[in-house]
Amino acid sequence: MTRDSHDVIVKTLARLLMPFMVVFALYVVMHGHHSPGGGFQGGVILAAGFVLLVISHGLEQTRKRMSEKVAEIISSIGVLIYGGIGVLCLILGGNYLDYGTLSKLLRVTPAEARSLGILGVEIGVALAVMAVMCTVFFAIFTAGESSQDDRSVK
Amino acid sequence: MTQFFVVLGVGMCVLVLLCLYRATYGPNVLNRAAGLSAIGTKTLIILLLMGVIYDRVDMFIDISMVYALLNFIGTVVLAKYLERTGEA
Amino acid sequence: MLVKDVICIFFMLAGFFFFTTATLGLLRLPDFYARLHATGKGDTLAVVLSLIGLAVYHGFSLTSAKIVFIAVFMFLAQPTATHAISRAAFRCGVQPWTCERGVLLEDDIAKQGGEK
């Protein structure tokens, strides 16, 4: 009955807050070496932005931007980035996730290559965490609807 | 000045314990949610006070920003959930 | 003691006072809407005052700019959260506290006054 109630105050604040939230999440991902944060925390903040979007604008509006299928693809891409960088280090003759060997490929000093490698892994982790959190939230949010529909059919 | 911040932080902790009464024994879920929201607001200030006392505000400021964000989103999500299920 | 320390102590004590008031309201007021009214306004004002005090103490830097950003965010978000949860309570059918108990209290006070 009250499912389609759209609250104009929460809606306006979500519209106002969403860009700042995404920028802050990117800051947390990028700035993970110097301050608390990293891939996991940045991904959680990105997913919190989508949760706020679902709460304020409804599920249909959110599905236009991030559906379950897109979330699955993005989570696979995130894991692929993480594992791909690790295997790339193996191919270049180091250990798994040994970023120093990436310096041959990137043409920079090994220290800079370590920093860039960690950044790439963090981006992969952030994408995977965001997509999986969105999948979990969609599953929880739509569970009540389907069971209610089943009940009404029976 | 550090002593002032320590005393203020201890006072905040006492206030959090008082709010914990409402969050634990509140007559229904809505009262508990109000108590939790109040606790989150005070925790934000306690985090910043800890940062000032340990002289690492640049570390604690990011944590408290995330805490404020998640406290807001958690309260709004809880309100939406209670509104949908319709049980107080 | 510097001037900025005095300003910081003033703002922090004012924030602490409003935190105490909001907590007392949360504990003592009779029903849900009244409790939310206490925390919604009192906590917002207290957070903004405390954050301004900390920003003044920290001087002019990136950190104090972030503190001011948190203050602006809380100033917008805390009333919105309060509005959302009170709307949920209204839609769930929570009845506001009516005047009957207050009238009873007034009668008691009148009786005590009459006895005296």
DSSP chain B: -HHHHHHHHHHHHHHHHHHHHHHHH-SSHHHHHHHHHHHHHHHHHHHHHHHHHTT-HHHHHHHHHHHHHHHHHHHHHHHHHHHHH---
Domain ranges of chain C: 3-115
Q: Is the pLDDT of residue A154 over 70?
A: no
> In which domain, by residue range, is B43 found?
2-85
What integer pLDDT is reported at residue B86 of this predicted model?
Answer: 72
Q: Is the pLDDT of residue A144 over 60?
A: yes
- A2 part of a folded domain: no
H or E, element range at A140 = helix A110-153
Which of A2, A9, A20 lies nearest to residue C83, judging by beta carbons? A9
- A149 part of a folded domain: no
> In which domain, by residue range, is A95 found?
8-144
In chain C, whose CA is at the least distance from the CA of A17? C73
Q: What is the pLDDT of residues A25-61, one digit of tens each?
A: 999 998 887 778 788 899 999 999 999 988 888 888 8
Averaged pLDDT, B4-32: 90
- A48 part of a folded domain: yes
- A119 part of a folded domain: yes
Distance between CA atoms of residues B3 and B5, nearest Å: 5
- A66 part of a folded domain: yes
Q: Decide if B85 touches A, using CB distance below 8 A.
A: yes
Distance between CA atoms of residues C86 and C91, nearest Å: 9
Percent of chain C clearing pLDDT 90 (strictly above) = 53
Which of B62, B70, B73 lies nearest to residue A36, judging by beta carbons? B62
Distance between CA atoms of residues C90 and A5, nearest Å: 13
Q: Decide if B39 touches C, using CB distance below 8 A.
A: no
Asked if A105 and A88 touch (Cβ cutoff 8 Å), the reply is yes
Q: What's the number of domains chain A is made of?
A: 1
Question: Are residues C76 and A17, on separate chains, in Cβ contact within 8 Å?
Answer: yes
- A18 part of a folded domain: yes
DSSP A53-107: HHHHHHHHHHHHHS-HHHHHHHHHHHHHHHHHHHHHHHHTTS-TT-GGGGHHHHT
- A97 part of a folded domain: yes
Q: What's the number of domains chain B is made of?
A: 1
What integer pLDDT is reported at residue A39 of this predicted model?
Answer: 84
